[in-house]
Structure 1
Amino acid sequence: MIKGITKLFLLGSCALIVLMPSIVNAQSKKSSASKPNIIFILTDDLGYGDLGVFFQNQRKEKADQKLPYQFTPNLDKMAASGAQLTNQYCNAPVCAPSRASLLTGLNQGNAKVRDNQFDKQIENNHTIATVLKIAGYATSVIGKWGLQGETKDEPNWPAHPQKRGFDDFFGYMRHADGHEHYPFEGIYRGKKEVWDNYKNVAADLAKCYTTDLWTARAKKWIIDHESAKGPEKPFFMFLAYDSPHAVLELPTQAYPEGKGLKGGIQWLGNPGNMINTASGKVDSFVHPDYKNSTYDNGKVKNAPWPDTFKRYATATRRIDDAVGDILQLLEDLKISENTIVVFTSDNGPSIESYLPAGYPPNNPEFFGGFGPFDGIKRDVWEGGLRMPTLVTWAQHIPAGKVVVSPSMLSDWMPTFADVAGISAPARTNGVSLVPSLTGKGIQAESLIYSEYSEGGKTPDFKAFEASRRGRKRGQMQMIRLGDFVGVRYDIKSADDDFEIYDIVSDPKETTNLASIPSCNELQVQMKAKSLQARKADLEAPRPYDRAEIPAVEILDKTYPGLSWKFFKGNFPYVVSETGLTEVSNGISKHLGEEVPKARPGMTLYEGFIKVQSDGEYSFSLQASGKAYMRIHEAELIDADFGYQSVSQETERVYLKAGYHPVKIYYLREAGKERILSLKMRYKDGDWKPLKGTDFYAIR
């Protein structure tokens, strides 16, 4: 047993938490025909409370004129037919890092895109798309990207979606383009570029409202794929809407009658008339449910809704119509029963509206877009991180299911790998959500952790707790252990205390438990875990980057050496051991020499390295094949994707004296020379080669 890793024993208000070891179903072998299609729909700045099923219907039921509400009938229907994930978090409270974590499966403690690094290239490494392509999927992204990397030599962006595993791309490449929802007219933010793979086609898109445009293109892509490939090749589509983010623009007209194959939004393909709503007046249509809506504003009982909020509700309703349209298309094509559809958002609701003077600013208080929580976009309070997530998968997810186990957007990569019958990369911080969605198997614990730096303050909303109105943000962290959430704002050092909340009984985070003596141990665990789950990034500096990572206390007897397990197979990359069954195991004295050369596969070494002194340590790894090394739950060395055989990979880390858990994954081809060399040095001292006997294992 390892204290602080497998079980946490707390008393009183911070009662027993059990963090179970990861357990998931064994990896399955699936034919292409049995693999489900996957559609991941991501909205931009849509709050947990903006959906009827999550919060708006509750406001309606109160019949209080002071509580205006929206309708999302299609999303409510989707929820009734599938699952609601009421405790899913985005990885960061702003779009670029949140989307990067989704695509790579890395939390913000290990991600390469953090904070406000808009348009920074997503690293050339595994993504959901690269993994699913290996599993036999056709892949497409439609809508907002913003992870391409800046270059003066456009359209040769270093991280163009087609360089990150996607077969096709249609949408906005740059982050800022997503602030405008009429690319040709550019009525509020100037003309924008829409890219069809490497060609800018914006000149053909007059009067194309982007929610309609992305929907029409998505339907066209699905229809074309099914016509050409059908069940022989499953598909993955990442459909990334850019609304209700930024300019609260209106469509040209009502959503077309009908849905699916013959109705709803349709792709016409004619320049200047590309979709069937590319007519009428731009920025003009207010949904009739909201056109004459009134509320009690505290002065007038039947005051008309301000135009800003009519716009917001119409933009949200347009997304709702689009989702209903796509779901009907799946029915019409007779592929709904073998298609997973996920709907969610990238971060909490925003105060931005980008409208001209004369319009009142957007205010998530009007509809309660943050739901039963405090915080908005750019906050790590629940309102900034808790996402409105829905999932349908006919015959696999029971209708009306409510999943309460905590999860993050970074869990979707291993989830989709699981359903596709392929192992997730070892570098992912996520876990498969298949057990909690289907009710089959035991759900592994998801690591709920976020860090973010932002100037400004939490809004001074009356609906928020007085202690956090106008709260300075600065460096922020959030970590969840069981039912308890720890939050730190304006962090100055690793020694700053977390505010601690029982998020199940106190979702609004009203009662800070940090001063309760029985929560002292939880405070220690949160401080330790928030260092053990991350690595420093020079481009997103934190005040705790050089804080020494706490060691763990081992309660069981240890033995010199690293325990090892060998997994036979021709793996395409260094894979997670989750779901795999070892064919042999033992205790290693010499890294890389446990398995005969003739057997292709991966060896996983696990154990503890004991350092004698607090301070800076450097590790250097060389391998004849691919390798990956983790310390605690943080990436230390990635010698997998793009690694040149026998090149040296070095990383520095700050450690407290004591035992630190390590995992070393080693993948080599059969018959190749076995080289796995690991060295360590303390501060600027000499490098010391490490043998298996320099580690400690638990039997």
Structure 2
Amino acid sequence: MILQNMKQHMQGPLTLAYNWLPETKILLVGLAWIATFFLGLEDVRSQSEGKSKPNILFIFTDDLGYGDIGVLYQNERKKRDDRSKPWTSTPHLDAMAREGAILTNHYAAAPVCAPSRASLLSGLSQGHANVRNNQFDKAIANNHTLGNVLQKAGYATSAIGKWGLQGDKRWSRNDGAWIGRPTLRGFDYFYGYMRHVDGHEHYPVEGLYRGKKEVWENEKEVSDGLDKSYTGDLWTAAAKKWITNQVQNDSKPFFMFLAYDTPHAVLELPTQAYPEGGGLKGGVQWNGKKGHMINTASGVPDSYIHPDYANATYDHDRNETTPEIPWPDTYKRYATSVRRIDDAVGDLLQLLKDLDIDEQTMVVFSSDNGPSKESYLPDPYVPNTPDFFDSFGPFDGIKRDVLEGGVRVPLLIRWPEHIPPNSKVNTPSISYDWLPTFADAAGLPAPANSDGVTLLPALTGKGVQEKGLVYVEYFQNGKTPEYKEFSQKNRGRSRKQMQLIRTGNLLGLRYDITSADDDFEIYDILNDTHQMRDLGTQSAMDSLQRWMKERVLQVRRSDTSAVRPYDDELIPASRVEVVSEGLEWKTYQGDYPWLPKLNALEPVEKGFFSAYENFAFHTKPQNLFLIRGYLKVPEDGEYTFTFRTNEKAFLRLHDLILFDADYGYESNQILKSQVKLKKGLHPIKFILRNKNHLEKPFRLEWEGPNLTKSSIPASAFYH
């Protein structure tokens, strides 16, 4: 019998150069899909349910910089033996890196908490996510999420720690109802802070610096009894309890989103040393007793400094004749907070070993954005500034910057027997790639609306890595700090509207954007990490400069709640030559919980048609269709597209989402979309489900300059 749903991968080097295939290239997925499509007998979803799926533990920290991790930067500072450069240690994270892989070119989707988390959880870039800029506590859109995708793939799901995407009355007319809380976005279980601002205080009962906070378990507030519970320990204990219960009582694989609210903001200290050992018997433990809920809920809150830092000194003036001075208490606190996260990671990894699920669990560790200069500490504490430890690493910029230091984040991943140890993956990637990656690991293609790509080929060294989109947009008043570690040109930069796009090793950057015509600064980001040498003014970069200006308009939709100066710009046509009129079509077989991305699947049939309205959809035994080609726009202007379908469909124009008739779509619901387009050819890609084999499963119309509302004629389509 043909093995089902097993991926046949081409062997390739683990450390991949950024050498991508063209977008039109189809990736082979393997024997399972071939068996499914050519035999046409099996439900692909049921096949994936029979496949061994990894548990997934995603550990997400708050404002932890790329440079805060030992193996990424701090160990290098230690080796220099420069007493003017204080350094910290993360031994457990370093061990995790040795046992797995470091993604050296990984980006957060935004340089601040809320939009970064929204993009991660939804699989959408900041050109499509509904939470942008500083929209804290705005409800994440009711669409595909990491939670509900993995739920439908057969996982038990949980979210522990900080959420901040629940919704409140600032962003909708719902009187503050939490319409975006985790249990309504695909998580079976939630324990943590619901509100964004609550994450600024790490003792919910005592509220030492920011007042008392609420802790929620699903829909119940449970802070009563959490005395002396430092959240860094509380979330770890809750995570260990849930994982243990899940493994011992349920055969389902699990997905956990473990979101720490440290080291962000107030820099409060734990009550005591991290308990020895780890896992089932050691480390932090859940006691479940009111007033002593976890085993570190004793001692004095905000008191413990890690002994490695308690008496730490440095030579501030780089002068051997000057006596070394103690670290200011602010930085002892920051280092202790980071080390506490490191201890928690070691504790959790030991738990996986104790439960005998170590080799069956993928563990990912990352951060939401670059390091912050916030501390919320009163006098006489000195302010927190990330340049004390160079928490931004070898980059310029911090939280709220689109410079590398604001969006390049640590990413470590460990998956024994799948990801080779001591690996470095140099492929540029971004946080919204994790939704398709986890779906792939679960044996399913990603939902069609995802802006990311699966990273499994790059991580495992098997198969060909698809080209991804690394794109960031963000608005913030103020200026970049004037740290001496930054290049002169990046000190005190006015931020405002910012944008980043990366292609290969070249990165395009715009600060204080006033129009779509503003030039990009272009950097060879591998050899110029501080972004000192702008290549964008060179004539050799003219074509790339033009491509970047066009590309950033082709991958996004405007959002009236986050206005950009290029929102009203006409979307440029593609610079392509076509062969003839008509569109390419392909059919696929499979029953998925969502409309799938089809680029990783093998088609059953394919061909071309001149007019889709005359195409015999109902004669095809397959239920999934991919239609693509180019739409010829007759003249510049605003076009209104109207669409409806009997089942499910998804349309992109370029890479922007034109219609999403998948999640929550009701049959024959009329959708409208307005876009401003330049005259010329615009690529269109259309995924359709026609399980009922209807003759005319959809209707697509347009109207625009000198065009009354009508079906789009065959003469407007090319391939």
TM-score normalised by length of structure 1: 0.95
Q: Which residue does 1:37 correspond to in 2?
A: 55
Do the aligned residues in 1 keep the contact of 2:617 with 2:695 (CA within 8 Å)? no
Cα deviation, 1:548-605, whole Å, max 9, x if unaligned, reads 11111223x4221111111112222211003211111222312484333673522111
Q: Does 1:516 align with 2:519?
A: no
Q: Does 1:447 align with 2:469?
A: yes
Equivalent position amino acid for 2:330 in 1: T
Equivalent position amino acid for 2:690 in 1: R
Q: Which residue does 1:583 correspond to in 2?
A: 604
Where in structure 1 are there 5+ consecutive unaligned residues? 1-15
**Displacement, 1:688?**
2.4
**Displacement, 1:155?**
9.3
Q: Does 1:551 align with 2:554?
A: no
CA distance in 1, matches of 2:508, 2:575: 22
Equivalent position amino acid for 1:55 in 2: Y
Are residues 88 and 23 of structure 1, via their aligned partners in 2, closer, same or farther at CA, if it must alter by over 3 Å? farther
Q: Does 1:205 align with 2:226?
A: yes
**Displacement, 1:645?**
1.1
**Displacement, 1:154?**
9.1
**Displacement, 1:685?**
4.8
CA distance in 2, matches of 1:322, 1:455: 35
Equivalent position amino acid for 1:73 in 2: P
Higher mean C-alpha deviation, range 457-466 or range 308-317: 457-466
Q: Does 1:404 align with 2:426?
A: yes
Higher mean C-alpha deviation, range 449-458 or range 559-568: 559-568
CA distance in 2, matches of 1:470, 1:185: 38
Q: Which residue does 1:492 correspond to in 2?
A: 514
Higher mean C-alpha deviation, range 60-69 or range 628-637: 628-637
Q: Does 1:421 align with 2:443?
A: yes
CA distance in 1, matches of 2:19, 2:241: 48
Higher mean C-alpha deviation, range 573-582 or range 90-99: 573-582
- Secondary structure at the aligned position of 1:637 is classed as strand
Of the three residues 189, 204, 215, the one matched with 2:236 is 215
**Displacement, 1:696?**
0.6
CA distance in 2, matches of 1:294, 1:199: 46
**Displacement, 1:196?**
0.3
Do the aligned residues in 2 keep the contact of 1:256 with 1:264 (CA within 8 Å)? yes
- Secondary structure at the aligned position of 2:617 is classed as coil
**Displacement, 1:203?**
1.2
> In the TM superposition, what are the counterparts of 1:126-205 in structure 2 within 5 Å?
126-150=144-168, 157-205=178-226
Q: Which residue does 1:304 correspond to in 2?
A: 326
Equivalent position amino acid for 1:329 in 2: L
- Secondary structure at the aligned position of 2:462 is classed as coil
Do the aligned residues in 2 keep the contact of 1:618 with 1:681 (CA within 8 Å)? yes
CA distance in 2, matches of 1:435, 1:17: 13
Do the aligned residues in 1 keep the contact of 2:618 with 2:695 (CA within 8 Å)? no
Cα deviation, 1:68-114, whole Å, max 9, x if unaligned, reads 00000000000000000000000000011001110111111111111
Q: Which residue does 2:29 correspond to in 1?
A: 26
Cα deviation, 1:334-363, whole Å, max 9, x if unaligned, reads 100010000000000000001112111111
CA distance in 1, matches of 2:175, 2:257: 23
**Displacement, 1:643?**
1.1
Q: Which residue does 2:120 correspond to in 1?
A: 102
Equivalent position amino acid for 2:103 in 1: L
Q: Does 1:565 align with 2:611?
A: no
Higher mean C-alpha deviation, range 611-620 or range 43-52: 611-620
> In the TM superposition, what are the counterparts of 1:61-460 in structure 2 within 5 Å?
61-150=79-168, 157-229=178-250, 232-298=251-317, 300-460=322-482
Are residues 241 and 642 of structure 1, via their aligned partners in 2, closer, same or farther at CA, if it must alter by over 3 Å? same
Equivalent position amino acid for 1:161 in 2: P
- Secondary structure at the aligned position of 1:203 is classed as coil
CA distance in 1, matches of 2:686, 2:379: 58
CA distance in 2, matches of 1:157, 1:635: 27
Higher mean C-alpha deviation, range 659-668 or range 54-63: 659-668
Equivalent position amino acid for 1:540 in 2: A
Do the aligned residues in 2 keep the contact of 1:435 with 1:443 (CA within 8 Å)? yes
Where in structure 2 are there 5+ consecutive unaligned residues? 1-17, 33-46
Do the aligned residues in 1 keep the contact of 2:623 with 2:693 (CA within 8 Å)? no
CA distance in 2, matches of 1:302, 1:403: 39
CA distance in 1, matches of 2:706, 2:303: 66
**Displacement, 1:476?**
0.3
CA distance in 2, matches of 1:361, 1:392: 35
CA distance in 1, matches of 2:497, 2:288: 47
Of the three residues 502, 505, 508, the one matched with 1:480 is 502
Equivalent position amino acid for 1:43 in 2: T
Do the aligned residues in 2 keep the contact of 1:32 with 1:234 (CA within 8 Å)? no
**Displacement, 1:544?**
0.0
**Displacement, 1:675?**
2.7
**Displacement, 1:301?**
3.8
**Displacement, 1:148?**
0.6
Are residues 149 and 591 of structure 1, via their aligned partners in 2, closer, same or farther at CA, if it must alter by over 3 Å? farther
**Displacement, 1:25?**
4.7
Are residues 686 and 155 of structure 1, via their aligned partners in 2, closer, same or farther at CA, if it must alter by over 3 Å? closer
Identical columns (%): 54
Q: Which residue does 1:469 correspond to in 2?
A: 491
CA distance in 2, matches of 1:258, 1:58: 28
**Displacement, 1:668?**
2.9
- Secondary structure at the aligned position of 2:224 is classed as helix
Higher mean C-alpha deviation, range 640-649 or range 365-374: 640-649
- RMSD of aligned C-alpha atoms? 1.7
Cα deviation, 1:614-659, whole Å, max 9, x if unaligned, reads 1211111111111111111111111111112111111111111111
Are residues 31 and 187 of structure 1, via their aligned partners in 2, closer, same or farther at CA, if it must alter by over 3 Å? same
Equivalent position amino acid for 2:435 in 1: M
**Displacement, 1:518?**
0.5
CA distance in 2, matches of 1:276, 1:155: 35
Higher mean C-alpha deviation, range 633-642 or range 337-346: 633-642
Do the aligned residues in 2 keep the contact of 1:562 with 1:693 (CA within 8 Å)? no
- Secondary structure at the aligned position of 2:247 is classed as helix
Do the aligned residues in 2 keep the contact of 1:452 with 1:475 (CA within 8 Å)? yes
Equivalent position amino acid for 2:95 in 1: K
TM-score normalised by length of structure 2: 0.92
Equivalent position amino acid for 2:220 in 1: K
Do the aligned residues in 1 keep the contact of 2:616 with 2:695 (CA within 8 Å)? no
Are residues 235 and 562 of structure 1, via their aligned partners in 2, closer, same or farther at CA, if it must alter by over 3 Å? same
Do the aligned residues in 2 keep the contact of 1:563 with 1:606 (CA within 8 Å)? yes
Do the aligned residues in 1 keep the contact of 2:229 with 2:296 (CA within 8 Å)? yes
Higher mean C-alpha deviation, range 664-673 or range 178-187: 664-673
- Secondary structure at the aligned position of 2:498 is classed as strand
Aligned residues: 679
Q: Does 1:612 align with 2:634?
A: yes
